[in-house]
Amino acid sequence: DAGVTQSPTHLIKTRGQQVTLRCSPKSGHDTVSWYQQALGQGPQFIFQYYEEEERQRGNFPDRFSGHQFPNYSSELNVNALLLGDSALYLCASSLRSGVAGELFFGEGSRLTVL
Amino acid sequence: GQQVMQIPQYQHVQEGEDFTTYCNSSTTLSNIQWYKQRPGGHPVFLIQLVKSGEVKKQKRLTFQFGEAKKNSSLHITATQTTDVGTYFCAGQGWSGGYNKLIFGAGTRLAVHP
C-alpha cells in the first residue's frame, strides 16, 4: 500500500518563474491538503481539495493555486515566485468523512527560489 | 482566524529527564492532533484527542486535552535519544462541513546522552 508520494523532491527556480508540484494521496484517501513549511517553522495551511474543488484556503495569495484530478491526485502551482516562497511543500492526504482527520504526509518537495 | 500557539519553542534535556510541551488554541477545537517530525523528515501522526478532558498514553508519552477543548499538552517521561525531533500540535476545527488542521510552530526537543 503506497503512502503519499510527492514529486519532485527538490527543485531550484529563479524569481518570477512558475512551479508545479505534484501529489498522489494514500490509497483510499479522497482529500488532499497542501502545507508550506519554512525552515524552523510549523506547516502553514495553504488549501484543501475534495471532490476536485478547493474547500478550504489559508492565508496565501492568489499566486498559489491548485487542482485535484478525478483519481484524487493533486497539483500545487505557484506563479511569479518570490524568494520568500523557498520552503518545504508538504502534501497530506486524509478522508473527509468522520472525526478521524489524521493526515498522512508525503516526504515533501523542497523548493529553493534564487 | 484560528491560531494555535505552542510553547516552548525549543528545549534541550539530559537523557532520562522529562519533557513537556503545551499547546493553546484561540478557538474551541473539534479535536487536536499531535505529530512528530524528525530532522530532515516529514510530520508523522502520533495521536488524536477528541473528548473534553481526555488523557491518552503511548508508552512514555502522555497526551491531555483540556476541559474547554482549547489547550493540550504532551509529556514524555524519561526521554531517550530516539525522542529527538520537533513535536507539533495541530488543532482541527470545522468550517462549512470541511475540516482544516492548523499547526502550531512546534517544540524542538534535543536530548543529550
Task: Work out the average pLDDT over B47-66.
Answer: 96
CA distances from B104 to A11, A37, A46, A58 (A): 27, 11, 15, 14
Which residue shows C-alpha cell 493553546?
A: B24
CB contact under 8 A, B45 and A104: yes
Closest CA to B83 of B59, B111, B62: B111
**Using a CB-CB distance cutoff of 8 angstroms, which residues of chain B are in contact with residue A101?**
31, 33, 48, 92, 99, 101
A4 to chain B: nearest residue by CA? B42
The verdict on a CB contact (< 8 Å) between A105 and B44 is: yes
Grid coordinates in use for B80?
Answer: 531517550
| CA proximity to A111, closest of A4, A9, A30 | A9
- Chain B residues with CB under 8 Å of A41 CB are 105-106
Residues B97-111: what's their mean pLDDT?
A: 87
Chain A residues closer than 8 Å to B30 by CB? 99
Residue B110: count other Cβ atoms within 10 Å of its Cβ: 14
Q: Which of residues 1-20 of B touch A (CB under 8 A)?
A: 1, 6
Distance CA A110, CA A6 (A): 10
The predicted pLDDT at position A98 comes to 46
Interval B59-98: pLDDT, tens = 999 999 999 999 999 999 999 999 999 999 999 876 655 6
For residue A53, list chain B residues with Cβ-Cβ distance below 8 A: none
Walk along chain A (114 residues) and give the pLDDT tens digit of each residue: 679 999 999 999 999 999 999 999 999 899 999 999 999 999 999 999 998 999 889 999 999 999 999 999 999 999 999 999 999 999 999 887 545 578 999 999 999 999
Nearest to A93 by CA among B1, B91, B43: B43
CB pairs under 8 A between A and B: 61
A48 touches chain B (CB under 8 A): yes
The confidence score (pLDDT) of residue A102 equals 86
Q: Output the average pLDDT for chain B.
A: 93
| Cβ-based contacts of A103 with chain B (< 8 Å) | 33, 35, 43, 45, 90, 101
Is residue B44 within 8 angstroms of chain A, CB to CB? Answer: yes
